[in-house]
Amino acid sequence: MATLVENPLVREIQTRALKPAGPCAMVIFGITGDLSKRLLLPALYNLATHGLLSEHFALVGFALSDITEEKLRETLAGTIREACGSECNLETIRWLVSHLHYVSSDFETASGWQKLHAVLDQVEAAEDLAGNYLFYLATAPEFFLPLVRRLAAEKLLDESGGHWRRVIIEKPFGHDLASARALNAELLKVVQDDLLYRIDHYLGKETVQNILVFRFANGIFEPIWNRRYIDHIQITVAESVGVERRGRYYDHTGALRDMVPNHLAQLLALTAMEPPASFSATALQNEQVKVLEAVPPIRPEECVACVVRGQYTEGMVSETMVAGYREEPFVDPNSQTETYVALKMAVDNWRWAGVPFFMRTGKRLHKRNTQVVVQFRNAPLSLFRRTGALPPRPNSLVLGIQPDENICLEFEGKVPGPVLETTTVRMDFDYGRHFRVEHRTGYETLLYDAMLGDRSLFKRADMIEAGWSVIQPILDAWAAGRGGELDRYGAGSEGPQAAEDMIHTGGRAWRPF
């Protein structure tokens, strides 16, 4: 989606590779919710701007809100304008919202479904959509299964007419391993797996996809991408936002469930996976599952040493005083829910045996930053020790995911001058400087791929379950009261001290963010 300005060859490749998706109606359940407004509609607008939506396209919203179609069109046009800033193309927004239709109903009432059928017939006749429907479940998770059952019962998932039908399911997919397994099993009773597109929006991020390209389109990194050369790996997903209006959901979820089995497990899988035999969805997914399956379960007695959980108290974030977690709306004033978690994990296979993987994520940290740090082993001999130079620091490779989108290799260099002194210097690749990237939400590629039927960037049932398997022993230990204390950390800090202590035990340190 990004436009490369510096390399005409790549621009030509992009233009050649991209063609509009085929005709379809996209039905968004929960179109009046936050996800649709903030991300899905702006993503559809971006696709339309790049000519990647078919001219034969209709958007159908289905939600409880009692508003008129006209009002919804107006509201969504406004949110797209807001998201895209001053450069937005009003003509494209008009085109998009003029293709929007609305069914106002709860998800159970028969009349709502009758109206949906009628709208689909109407848009089919008007737009010639070849009978292709993409359903997007942008709803609370309790509606996922009832909606898919209902879609099946209404014969809306039947592909026997030669058209396609696909269902995109948002997270959270279950709230633990058992519920994720049960949800998968129940879904598969009514729909074939290849119609299901389970989303992890991290896979829509260019910098996340680039982990694959960086590792497997270059010959120089793969030979050293293993236990012989790598000391440890750090994965940080730091957020400066708090729980915002989601206190009710979050207080029953916590940072571990909210972020680790999906987004952090995804970053771990891409960083640690073996080269796939091909770039097919199956080959890619097979290798990612293998990584997660190689993570040995954390034993209950390890839960104190290898897991830190924290909760923010009030503090200053970006020069603004913010409330502590327990003071947030809809949060229990005595809540024990963690808003921060740090873990020490392993990947027990030939490539990674003995290499610790440290992961941390938290809300209300001092800034937003997602990065994967590959910390190499030290040079075998400190050759310059007699010159008075400081001992060299180990090399690191930092994959900046967001908001800094960059890749940086840090190595030691000579300080100019007659005395031999060394210092750490950086080689930087910066997406923003190299590519001119327009505003994008990360959902563009995912929606486009779903319309093309490419599942490479979606999660298979076993990937979701493998993600939950990684954290299930911790959930069990916590439920049995075997986790350590809940550490409080001030909003605007780098997280609880216990996370620093955890990594220091091995003589290592978190990379500041």
Residues with catalytic annotation? 263
End-to-end CA gap in the chain: 28
Does residue 258 bind ligand BG6 (CB under 6 A)?
A: yes
* Interface mask toward ligand BG6 for 178-207; x: CB under 6 A: -----------------------x------
- Which residues, numbered 80-119, are part of the site for ligand BG6 (CB under 6 A)? none
Binding residues for ligand BG6 restricted to 425-454, rule: CB under 6 A = none
Residues in binding contact with ligand BG6, number by CB under 6 A: 4
Q: CB of residue 259 vs ligand BG6: minimum separation in angstroms?
A: 6
Note whether 330 and 248 are within 8 A (CB).
yes
Residue burial 132-143, b: 16+ Cβ < 10 Å; e: rest: bbbbbbbbebeb
251 binds ligand BG6 (CB under 6 A): no
- 105 vs 288 by CB, closer to ligand BG6: 288
Is 465 a binder of ligand BG6 (CB under 6 A)? no
Distance CA 485, CA 102 (A): 49
Nearest residue to 166 (alpha-carbon basis) of 141, 137, 146: 137
Nearer to ligand BG6, 200 or 494 (CB): 200
Closest CB 465 distance from ligand BG6, rounded Å? 18
| Dihedral pair phi/psi, residue 180, rounded to 5° | -65, -40
The token pair that represents 62 in the structure block: 């289905």
Binding residues among 145-184 for ligand BG6 as defined by CB under 6 A: 171
Close Cβ partners of 100 (under 8 Å, ≥ 6 residues apart): 59, 60, 61, 69, 72, 73, 76
Residue with Cβ nearer ligand BG6 (171 or 215): 171
DSSP letter (8 states) at residue 115? H
Report the C-alpha gap between 315 and 511 in whole angstroms.
22
Report in angstroms how near the CB of residue 262 gets to ligand BG6 at its nearest: 7
The nearer residue to ligand BG6, 258 or 494, going by C-beta atoms, is 258
Contact set for ligand BG6, span 220-239 (CB under 6 A)? 239
CB of residue 236 to ligand BG6, shortest distance in Å: 11
For ligand BG6, the closer CB: 248 or 299: 248
- 177: exposed, middle or buried (Cβ count in 10 Å: 0-12, 13-18, 19+): buried
In DSSP terms, 25 is beta-bridged to 58, 133
Cβ 201 to ligand BG6 shortest distance, Å: 6
**DSSP-assigned states of every residue in 37-88:** IIIIHHHHHHHHHTT-S-SSEEEEEEES----HHHHHHHHHHHHHHHHGGG-
Spatial separation of the C-alpha atoms in residues 220 and 490, rounded to whole Å? 42
Distances (CA, A) of 168 to 185, 258, 286: 17, 19, 20
Q: In terms of CB distance, is 99 or 440 closer to ligand BG6?
A: 440
Rounded Cα distance, 49 and 225, in Å: 39
Least separation in angstroms between residue 260's CB and ligand BG6 is 11
Q: Report in angstroms how near the CB of residue 171 gets to ligand BG6 at its nearest.
A: 6
Q: What is the DSSP letter of 302?
A: G
Q: Which residue, 239 or 405, has its beta carbon nearer to ligand BG6?
A: 239
Residue whose CB is less far from ligand BG6, 31 or 208: 208
Length of the chain equals: 513
Please, what is the minimum distance in Å from the beta carbon of residue 80 to ligand BG6? 19
Distance CA 362, CA 304 (A): 18
Least distance to ligand BG6, CB of residue 490, Å: 19
C-beta atoms surrounding 112 within 10 Å: 17
Residue 339 to residue 499: CA distance in whole angstroms:
13
Smallest CA-to-CA distance from 357 within 260, 465, 489 is with 260
Which CB atom, from 141 or from 453, has the smaller least distance to ligand BG6? 141
Residues near ligand BG6 (CB under 6 A) are 171, 201, 239, 258
